Amino acid sequence: MERAINFNAGPAALPLAALERAREELLDFAGTGMSVMEHSHRGKDYERVHDEAIALLRETASIGDDTEVLFIQGGASQQFAQIPLNFLPDGGSADYVVHGAWGEKAVSEAQAATKWSGGKVRVAATTAQGKQYTRVPTPSEIQLDPKAAYLHLTSNETIHGVQFHEFPDAGKVPLVCDMSSDFLWRKTDLSRFSFIYAGAQKNVGPSGIVIVLAKKDFIAQGRKDLPKIFQYRTVAENNSLYNTPPTFAIYLIRNVLAWIKETGGLSRIEEQNRKKAALIYGVLDEHAGFYASPVERASRSTMNIVFRLPSDDHEARFLAEAKKLRMVGLKGHRSVGGIRASLYNAVSLEWTTALADFMRDFAKRG
């Protein structure tokens, strides 16, 4: 069996070591005679995995004691609504920065949430040019309301391939960030954020689960008149075991985090990721007359590299030829078209080199 060279945007490639470990442990987890999926989420065997996943995350991302690590179902999309329900008080206002499709969705769900929560949603900056996004806003373009309940950012726009490399300074306004497509790919000072959320299915695991890193004092400010299941304090008070969590997804996150640790931690992952992105952008720049990269250089995403070829026909041929080389997941999002290569943590330098070689060869042939 030959594994596919997987550039999917999410669900995405998982490290082979994490999958092999799951295969080895599938029928007989830790000598218990059953899979981890068949264990009670209240039992000691599962609890060890759960706690190990949280401990590895704390260690890998250097998460302080002032911060809770939570596992929540419903995807990052659910967070778009749950965040304003918790943190946008009646009469208050929340600021949003928009530089792509996911930020737009976050705004629209927050607006819908205000029907229940009260409060207002303000767009503090947008870089939309019609339906196009090619950059993040500059700090001076962000019209921050100093009284905002929070400032919401999307650190990396997965569809448009536009990424913040430096986060704006929000002063005393709590920073809330959707890090779904660039969580845990580099060393970052996460302590500046009051609330980070990330769907696991790109850099750290399978779909079905969101990792939340939230400051304890921020969680405490959340509304108390919501159904318990929607309050972050409920999840925090119960170590993400208030109700049955997706145990297998958390188990796989444990495997991925163990792989990150064993292979050199975040510094090695970051070094690899930067090399990978440089390889592909290098080809785009070398063949700038053939490949068009719509994103401004300073906002280019290290995770999702989007580009166009001279015609739809070229793009169709590019995808078909790539597929023959076992390269999958390169079609751009249906809303924008073109090509997108997602280079998450589990995408190897070797795979990326194969893609770069193919791109060079394809450009030469035209």
Rounded distance between C-alpha atoms, residue 332 and residue 226, angstroms = 38
Rounded distance between C-alpha atoms, residue 113 and residue 85, angstroms = 6
Residue from 7, 87, 96, 102 touching ligand PMP (CB under 6 A): that is 102
201 among annotated binding-site residues: yes
67 among annotated binding-site residues: no
State yes or no: residue 35 binds ligand PMP (CB under 6 A).
no
Told to judge if 216 belongs to the known catalytic residues of this protein, a careful annotator would answer: no
42 among annotated binding-site residues: yes
Residue 78 structure tokens: 């659910």
Q: Specify whether the CB–CB gap between 203 and 14 falls below 8 A.
A: no
Strand partners, 66: none
Rounded distance between C-alpha atoms, residue 47 and residue 90, angstroms = 38
178 among annotated binding-site residues: yes
| Helical axes 247-262 vs 16-25, angle rounded to 10° | 130
Position 22, amino acid: A
Select from 73-81, 245-253, 259-267, 315-323 the region that touches ligand PMP (CB under 6 A): 73-81
Among left, alpha and beta (phi > 0; psi -120 to 50; other), residue 241 is alpha
State yes or no: residue 180 binds ligand PMP (CB under 6 A).
yes
State yes or no: residue 76 binds ligand PMP (CB under 6 A).
yes
Rounded distance between C-alpha atoms, residue 100 and residue 109, angstroms = 15
- Smallest distance from ligand PMP to CB 77, Å: 3
State yes or no: residue 77 binds ligand PMP (CB under 6 A).
yes
State yes or no: residue 158 binds ligand PMP (CB under 6 A).
yes
- With 0-12 / 13-18 / 19 or more C-beta atoms within 10 angstroms meaning exposed / middle / buried, residue 110 is buried
Site string for ligand PMP, 186-225 (x = CB under 6 A): -------------x--------------------------
Told to judge if 145 belongs to the known catalytic residues of this protein, a careful annotator would answer: no
77 among annotated binding-site residues: yes
* Cβ closest to ligand PMP, residue 21 vs residue 194: 194
C-alpha angle 350/354/358, rounded to 5°?
A: 170
Residue from 10, 206, 246, 332 touching ligand PMP (CB under 6 A): that is 10
- Smallest distance from ligand PMP to CB 365, Å: 33
Give the DSSP H or E segment for 236.
Answer: helix 232-237
User: Among residues 124, 110, 270, which one has the least CA distance to residue 185?
Assistant: 270
111 among annotated binding-site residues: no
Told to judge if 102 belongs to the known catalytic residues of this protein, a careful annotator would answer: yes
Residue from 82, 86, 117, 154 touching ligand PMP (CB under 6 A): that is 154
58 among annotated binding-site residues: no
* Cβ closest to ligand PMP, residue 164 vs residue 291: 164
Select from 135-143, 177-185, 239-247, 351-359 the region that touches ligand PMP (CB under 6 A): 177-185
Residue 224 C-alpha from the chain's centroid: 28
Q: Specify whether the CB–CB gap between 273 and 343 falls below 8 A.
A: yes
DSSP string of 256-271? HHHHHHHTTHHHHHHH
Q: Residues binding ligand PMP: what is the number (CB under 6 A)?
A: 11
Bind-site residues for L-glutamate: 42
Which residues are known binding-site members for pyridoxal 5'-phosphate? 76-77, 102, 158, 178, 201, 243-244
Active site residues: 102, 178, 202
Kindly list the residues in this chain that would bind ligand PMP in the complex (CB under 6 A). 10, 75-77, 102, 154, 158, 178, 180-181, 199
